[in-house]
């Protein structure tokens, strides 16, 4: 009867404590998905729902793929991101482990001959006061994992946008080079006629033939580049098994936006998940330091039961505790202090890296924007005007057809330059948005 009393007085309260101390992971997949949605307008799909290619609602590949659609598909299907998201499961497991309290230890010596039966119940009390430190550290660790996953998702979005831009640019290059090849073939045909007529030397004809051959080689290189970029984009968005080349439908980018560097830096410091993760690392290091200090004192409650005493069965409490005379957990406390200092210094590193990336992306964006505006406002219109005038002069016999084709070539060069500047602007825009955390509408300041 007395042993049951011991059970009810000690074991049941422990069970109630365990039930009442359940932990809840707040920074879960829903948190990561919501953070990404606030930044980009797109969300994540549940890991359990990923089984083959899944397209977000409203996306149809037959009408062409926009950059925004490519981002949405990647967030649902990228294999690397799905693998990273399993880290939330580990964080959840660590949090559960941190919330657990050490089991009581029961020791029983059975009666044998004159030896009476004795029972002792040991309850490690130190696990109770250490628990808040453990749980706090585990929660901060889970929060840090979640913020890093948000950053990983933003890195993926940047990579998709840059690859998409490179792919679209290479496709435009192929079309322009194809026109150049047709133009070079026409020029070469005229040169061969002039060579037979004795108007030009064989050396001049050979130079034109070499130039035409080089364009053919360039076309082959661009074709190979398209195939590689097609595979790269498919891999990023989770369509690696798709055999057909992806059809792109690029959207226009607003070239009238004006940005303020100081505002971008402020936004980046507020929004970048990796900076928040660095802040959390400092908090977690502080919690670990408190946890290690709490380990200096170890206290175990004892409940002892003897079967036969002077007045029958005897029950009495006791205590077992370490005397912190020689070991004050100095090593682990010192290690925790260094980890805290390291976390603080790492925060400074991350913040400075963010500032550099914002400034770099801002500079590249302005440079690409200026180059594109010059091409569109001066070089390209001048090339178009020159071709129109050359066509009129050729029609009245003032210039030769070969000279007219030369002006058309200059126009193709200008179009290629515009395409290259637009691609550079798209890449710079992706880097700039990534550097400030992809906060929606932050680049709409005019």
Q: Looking at the domain assignment, is residue 423 inside a domain?
A: no
Distance of alpha carbon 28 from alpha carbon 146, whole angstroms = 7
Confidence of residue 167 (pLDDT cuts 50, 70, 90): very high
- pLDDT at position 369 over 80: yes
108-154: per-residue pLDDT in tens?
A: 777 676 667 778 877 777 777 778 878 888 888 899 999 999 999 99
pLDDT for residue 102: 79
Rounded (to 5) percent helix, strand, coil in the chain: 70, 10, 20
Give the pairing type, strands 299-309 and 312-321: antiparallel
The CATH number of the domain holding residue 308 is 1.20.1600.10
pLDDT of residue 262: 92
Section 85-111 average pLDDT? 84
Q: Find the range with the poorest average confidence among 87-91, 206-210, 366-370.
A: 206-210
Give the whole-number percent of the chain exceeding pLDDT 70.
Answer: 82
In a domain, 410, yes or no: no
pLDDT of 332 reads: 74
pLDDT average, residue stretch 290-301: 64
> In this structure, is residue 415 part of a structural domain?
no
Alpha-carbon torsion (332, 336, 341, 347), positive or negative: positive
- CA–CA gap between residue 177 and residue 225 (Å, rounded): 13
Do the domain assignments include residue 411?
no
Domain containing residue 174: 2-250+274-351
List, as one string, the DSSP characters of 198-261: TSS-HHHHHHHHHHHHHHHHHHHHHHHHHHHHHHHHHHHHT-TT--SPPPB-PPP--------H
User: Is 304 inside a domain boundary?
Assistant: yes
Among 255, 218, 250, CA closest to 233: 250
Q: What is the mean pLDDT of residues 421-438?
A: 92
23 within domain boundaries:
yes
Q: Which of 42-51, 190-199, 380-389 has the lowest mean pLDDT?
A: 42-51
pLDDT exceeds 70 at position 179: yes
DSSP string, 347-390: HHHHHHHHHHHHHHHHHHHHHHHHHHHHIIIIIHHHHHHHHHHH
**Domain assignment present for 418:** no
Question: Structurally, how many domains does the chain consist of?
Answer: 1
pLDDT digits (tens, 9 = 90+) for 196-233: 888 778 887 788 788 888 888 888 998 999 999 999 99
pTM equals 0.82
Q: What is the CA radius of gyration of the chain?
A: 36
**Of 353, 413, 424, the residue nearest 168 (C-alpha):** 424
């Amino acid at each position: 009867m007395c042993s049951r009393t011991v059970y009810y007085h000690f074991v049941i309260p422990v069970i109630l404590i365990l039930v009442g101390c359940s932990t809840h992971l707040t920074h879960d997949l829903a948190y990561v998905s919501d953070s990404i949605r606030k930044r980009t307008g797109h969300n994540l799909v549940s890991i359990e729902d990923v089984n083959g290619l899944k397209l977000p609602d409203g996306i149809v590949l037959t009408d062409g793929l926009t950059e925004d659609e490519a981002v949405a598909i990647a967030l649902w299907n990228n294999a690397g991101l799905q693998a990273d998201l399993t880290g939330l499961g580990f964080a959840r497991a660590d949090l559960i482990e941190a919330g657990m309290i050490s089991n009581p230890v029961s020791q029983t010596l059975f009666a044998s001959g004159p030896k009476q039966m004795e029972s002792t119940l040991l309850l490690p009390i130190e696990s109770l006061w250490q628990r808040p430190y453990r749980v706090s550290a585990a929660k901060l660790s889970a929060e840090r994992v979640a913020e890093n996953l948000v950053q990983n998702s933003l890195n993926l979005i940047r990579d998709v946008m840059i690859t998409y831009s490179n792919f679209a640019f290479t496709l435009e290059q192929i079309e322009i080079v194809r026109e150049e090849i047709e133009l070079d073939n026409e020029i070469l045909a005229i040169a061969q006629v002039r060579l037979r007529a004795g108007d030009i030397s064989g050396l001049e004809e050979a130079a034109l033939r070499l130039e035409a051959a080089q364009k053919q080689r360039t076309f082959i290189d661009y074709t190979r580049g398209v195939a590689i970029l097609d595979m790269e984009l498919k891999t990023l968005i989770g369509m690696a098994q798709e055999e057909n080349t992806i059809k792109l439908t690029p959207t226009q980018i607003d070239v009238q936006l004006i940005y303020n560097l100081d505002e971008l830096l402020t936004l980046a410091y507020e929004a970048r998940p990796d900076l928040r993760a660095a802040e959390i690392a400092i908090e977690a290091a502080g919690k670990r330091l408190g946890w290690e200090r709490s380990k200096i004192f170890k206290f175990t409650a004892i409940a002892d039961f003897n079967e036969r005493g002077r007045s029958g069965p005897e029950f009495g409490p006791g205590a077992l505790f370490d005397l912190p005379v020689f070991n004050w957990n100095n090593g682990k406390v010192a290690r925790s202090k260094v980890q805290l200092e390291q976390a603080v210094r790492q925060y400074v590193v991350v913040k400075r890296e963010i500032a550099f990336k914002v400034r770099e992306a801002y500079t590249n964006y302005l440079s690409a924007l200026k180059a594109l505006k010059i091409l569109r406002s001066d070089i390209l219109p001048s090339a178009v005007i020159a071709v129109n005038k050359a066509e009129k002069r050729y029609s009245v016999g003032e210039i030769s057809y070969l000279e007219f084709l030369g002006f058309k070539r200059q126009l193709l060069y200008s179009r290629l330059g515009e395409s290259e500047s637009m691609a550079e602007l798209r890449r710079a825009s992706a880097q700039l948005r990534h550097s400030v955390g992809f906060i929606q509408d932050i680049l709409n300041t005019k």
